[in-house]
Amino acid sequence: MTITTPGVSPVTVTSGITLSVDGVDITVPKGTLVIRAAEQLGVEIPRFCDHPLLAPVAACRMCLVEIEGQPKPQPACAVTVAEGMKVRTQVTSELAEQAQQGVMEFLLINHPLDCPVCDKGGECPLQNQALSHGRAESRFTGVKRTFPKPINVSAQILLDRERCVSCARCTRFADEIAGDPFIDLLERGAKQQVGTSSDQPFDSYFSGNTVQICPVGALTSAKYRFRSRPFDLISTPTVCEHCASGCGLRTDVRRSTVLRRLAWDEPAVNEEWNCDKGRFAFGYAAEGRLTHPMVRDESGELVVASWPEAMSIAAAGLRRAGSRTAVLTGGRLTLEDAYSYSKFARSVLGTDDVDFRSRPSSAEEIEFLAALVAGKPVGPTYAELESAPVVVLAGLDAEDESPMVFLRLRKGARLTGVKVFTVAPFASAGVAKVNGRVLTAVPGAEAAVLDSLADEVSGARDENRLEAARLLREPGAVLLVGERLAQSPGALSAAARVAKATGAALGWVPRRAGERGALDAGAIAGLLPGGRPITSDAARREAAAVWGVDPASLPGSPGRDLGAVVAAVNADTKAIAAAAKPSDVVRSVQALLIGGVEANDLADPAAFVAALDAVPFLVSLEQRHSEVTARADVVLPVAAVAEKAGTFLDWEGRPREFAQVFREALTLSDSRVLAMLAAELDASFGRGDIASVRGELASFGSWHGDRAQAPGHAPPEAPSVGSDEVVLATWRQLLDRGLLQEGDPFLGATARAGVARISAARATLLAVATGEAVTISTATGSITLPALVTTMPDDVVWLPANSDGSNPRVTLGAGHGDIVRISGGVV
């Protein structure tokens, strides 16, 4: 067995160490800390600075215990067990008890004891342990140390210094776990305090964890400060909807309002951490929601309607369109909801025009997912990342796009020597923090770089490539691909070739929480649930059996993806406009059923909006107003995650089930709405409730039949780039203008400012320095941002994909790999 202790290299345990704690013998692995051994016996030694995921510091001295043979009491959090060691804790040792009471008395002399107004009151380790291990009254009658209160460590994190017990959990978290050592202890003695440097703000995607692990009320979040007392909260274990990391959370509710979310203890997934987006971005579900169904009145205005009226209009429209309906869904869907769309499309509408990828995508991606991802068992896993000899990332910036993958990689890099390589144009901040090395790829050239890894010798000139290629062939090696590779033709084919050639485990890390579930639910053209090819008779028979329909009624050939659907609508429109007799033109797409798609997320937002305008009938299942609801014939409001139970499959494929937070919620899940629609269409569909949907999903079981071959697309020729042109690299930063981050201004204020990354040579050419404006433009528009000179290829510019002042898809009509013009200054 292998155990890992923070700050210590993992040790392989060959035999246990037997010690006694309070007279009871226990055998634990070598390297175990006394405090952990005592925990296993149910002896809780009080502690503040100790945290099982942080390296010991033994600073607070609260956990002092008596160890036979030692003249002084010893900190249980820092002493490792030894054979025959006799430990006596406060339970049996007067010395230990006195030492702990003494430390507690000291901790309280400078503590304000303002528990009645402190957010931590009621869930405070200091408060709790003062009651269990302290004296009833303080003997301190002097003058306490005070500080002006509070100070902003960041826009979100507030610090009341007088409450701090200098345990250094926050600073150690920032330094060890997040790799953002921008808070540290300053000053000395009783004046010691947590602070930031004047020129380096606490710029961390993980800052909220410091609030959670603070054992006193010194660190609070602007989001939650003074909002509630812990004993007034109702807590529900939930799963984060913001990305495919799958973090376990605890959602705390007071009077039907979500007040905060905490990272929950999920050792296999997020350990005890989460990112600030998952922690603080939940305001979107509280404001601006659709509350009632809406339909078009005679004048074409959207007006509130009753559910039966809206249902009957929606059903009528869909009945008319039938299999000429396309079903487009977005990344917010749970596994169960995605499954219902998948089933509704095939069994009710008889269409296979289904796509969950509301983002730039490709047909090659469908082939890739069908062959290598859909319906596959869990893995590679977080644990495998931590122990892999190498993890190669391609088209994936882990810190921005899957923060828990990033934290695991950092843990692995720091403690077990995991080597990380990234196929990217440059080393982002997150890559540096995992000691990652860049296998430099201009956007579009990812396939070529990956192919050089498949063939161990071809990249011989590049030492990093050679090492990555060698390590990928070691057992346990992992290759992780991000959704961005779909924008780089041939790259996913190349990734499949690398995995096959090297034997490395291949993981697909989409950015959104719902994508892996939607894939496995078959919410994509060509695939039925569980990765079953729709072209397979056996697969259709299995699906038809579960759905209780005639197999012949299911579409037997792959449908169109989102891009093809949009193109078809717009082509029909064109044909109608050109036709002498428009009524002769039969539209191939007559209705759209859309849930969770945002126009600006797509490769071509304008074409999508044009299709929305043109399509004869549009039904929208949505939480909030959008471009789609504005154009829909029928708008049906659906539940946000806190209002329903569900499951997200994280990037590993691990089911992450969560419970309903608002048990009294009146909103309906997408599944329930689709079930009602199906009933209105007289189709056999089931109730769409969580239990029956999960039951159906379970009855599908695994698919053992044939699968599509992995794609074998060859990379395209490298495009020629003019002297004032560069290739655009772009992805979304974790904190940006994403719709699910609306309503959280403190969080928004901690987002990283938009910059345009260019190489030093390019900067010289443009006569700009870091901080000076550069303008990136196309025929569609231009973006001007401060330059950030970066070690990267000269013919690449990087822009954030959806940050303040930078949304290249919308403004430039350009995405990852497209060619754009660049110039210095403001144009």
Partner 1 sequence: MALTPILTAHWDEPDSHTIGGYRRHGGYDMVPVSLGVHPDEVIALVKESGLRGRGGAGFPTGMKWGFVPQNDGKPHYLVVNADESEPGACKDIPLMLANPHSLVEGCIHAAYAIRANHAFIYIRGEVPHAVRRVTAAVAEAYAAGFLGKDILGSGFDLDIVVHSGAGAYICGEETALLDSLEGRRGQPRLKPPFPAVAGLYASPTVINNVETIANIPTIIRNGADWFKQFGTEKSPGFKLFAVSGHVERPGIYEASLGTTMRELLEYAGGVRAGHELKFWIPGGSSVPMLLPEHLDTPLTYEDMAGLGTMLGTGTPMVFDETTSVVRAISRWMHFYKHESCGKCTPCREGTFWLEQMLERFEAGTAIEADIETVDEICKQIAGRSFCALGDAAATPYAPALKYFREEFLAGTHTSADELFDPVAATVFAGAAAR
| Cβ distance to partner 1 smaller for residue 60 or 603 | 60
Q: List binders of partner 1 among 448-477 (CB under 8 A).
A: none
Take residue 773 and report the two structure tokens written for it: 């404006």
Burial of 665 by CB count in 10 Å (0-12 exposed, 13-18 middle, 19+ buried)? middle
Residue with tokens 């002493």: 79
| Cβ distance to partner 1 smaller for residue 95 or 501 | 95
Distance CA 24, CA 624 (A): 59
| Cβ distance to partner 1 smaller for residue 82 or 610 | 82
Q: Which of 239, 288, 358 is nearest to 641 (CA)?
A: 239
| Identified binder of partner 1 from the candidate list 17, 21, 87, 99, rule CB under 8 A | 99
Query: Which stretch, 67-75, 317-325, 537-545, 757-765, contacts partner 1 (CB under 8 A)?
Result: 67-75
The alpha helices in 233-328, defined as continuous H runs, are: 276-280, 307-321
Distance CA 62, CA 75 (A): 8
Should residue 147 be labelled a site residue for partner 1 when binding is judged by CB under 8 A?
Answer: no
User: How near is the Cβ of 342 to partner 1 at its closest, in Å?
Assistant: 55
Should residue 73 be labelled a site residue for partner 1 when binding is judged by CB under 8 A?
Answer: yes
| Identified binder of partner 1 from the candidate list 20, 92, 152, 192, rule CB under 8 A | 192
| Identified binder of partner 1 from the candidate list 189, 377, 475, 722, rule CB under 8 A | 189
User: How near is the Cβ of 130 to partner 1 at its closest, in Å?
Assistant: 13
Q: For the residues of 23-54, what is the DSSP string, one character each?
A: TEEEEEETT-BHHHHHHHTT-----SS--TTS
Take residue 104 and report the two structure tokens written for it: 């507690």
HSE-CB for 222 with a 13 A CA cutoff: 18
What 3-state class would DSSP assign to 10? Answer: strand
| Cβ distance to partner 1 smaller for residue 88 or 260 | 88
Should residue 71 be labelled a site residue for partner 1 when binding is judged by CB under 8 A?
Answer: yes
Should residue 58 be labelled a site residue for partner 1 when binding is judged by CB under 8 A?
Answer: yes
Q: Which residues contact 417 (CB under 8 A, 6 or more apart)?
A: none
User: How near is the Cβ of 9 to partner 1 at its closest, in Å?
Assistant: 13
Contact 365, 685 (CB under 8 A): no
Should residue 185 be labelled a site residue for partner 1 when binding is judged by CB under 8 A?
Answer: yes
Should residue 165 be labelled a site residue for partner 1 when binding is judged by CB under 8 A?
Answer: yes
The count of chain residues that interact with partner 1, using the rule CB under 8 A, is: 36
What 3-state class would DSSP assign to 796? Answer: strand
User: How near is the Cβ of 170 to partner 1 at its closest, in Å?
Assistant: 15
Should residue 145 be labelled a site residue for partner 1 when binding is judged by CB under 8 A?
Answer: yes
CA distances for 473 relative to 464, 466, 469, 501, angstroms? 14, 11, 7, 8
User: How near is the Cβ of 36 to partner 1 at its closest, in Å?
Assistant: 16
Should residue 698 be labelled a site residue for partner 1 when binding is judged by CB under 8 A?
Answer: no
Should residue 60 be labelled a site residue for partner 1 when binding is judged by CB under 8 A?
Answer: yes
Sign of CA dihedral 5, 8, 14, 15: negative
Should residue 139 be labelled a site residue for partner 1 when binding is judged by CB under 8 A?
Answer: yes
Should residue 132 be labelled a site residue for partner 1 when binding is judged by CB under 8 A?
Answer: no
DSSP 8-state code for residue 732: -
Q: List binders of partner 1 among 616-655 (CB under 8 A).
A: none
Q: List binders of partner 1 among 779-818 (CB under 8 A).
A: none
Should residue 64 be labelled a site residue for partner 1 when binding is judged by CB under 8 A?
Answer: yes
Should residue 183 be labelled a site residue for partner 1 when binding is judged by CB under 8 A?
Answer: no
| Cβ distance to partner 1 smaller for residue 102 or 122 | 102
User: How near is the Cβ of 73 to partner 1 at its closest, in Å?
Assistant: 6
Q: Which of 278, 382, 381, 401 is nearest to 658 (CA)?
A: 278
CA distances for 176 relative to 97, 138, 198, 201, 296, angstroms? 32, 36, 21, 17, 56
| Identified binder of partner 1 from the candidate list 106, 289, 657, 679, rule CB under 8 A | 106
The alpha helices in 537-669, defined as continuous H runs, are: 537-547, 562-578, 605-614, 627-631
Query: Which stretch, 103-111, 257-265, 510-518, 639-647, contacts partner 1 (CB under 8 A)?
Result: 103-111
Prior bond of 380 cis (ω within 30°): yes
User: How near is the Cβ of 147 to partner 1 at its closest, in Å?
Assistant: 14
* Helix, strand, coil share (%) of the chain residues, nearest 5: 35, 20, 45
| Identified binder of partner 1 from the candidate list 59, 124, 635, 673, rule CB under 8 A | 59
| Cβ distance to partner 1 smaller for residue 164 or 407 | 164
User: How near is the Cβ of 410 to partner 1 at its closest, in Å?
Assistant: 20
End-to-end CA distance of the chain: 62
Should residue 35 be labelled a site residue for partner 1 when binding is judged by CB under 8 A?
Answer: no
Residue 744 main-chain phi, psi, to 5 deg: -130, 75
| Cβ distance to partner 1 smaller for residue 107 or 318 | 107
- Binding footprint of partner 1 on the chain (CB under 8 A): 56-62, 64, 71-73, 78, 98-99, 102-103, 105-107, 109-110, 139-140, 142-143, 145, 165-166, 184-185, 187-192
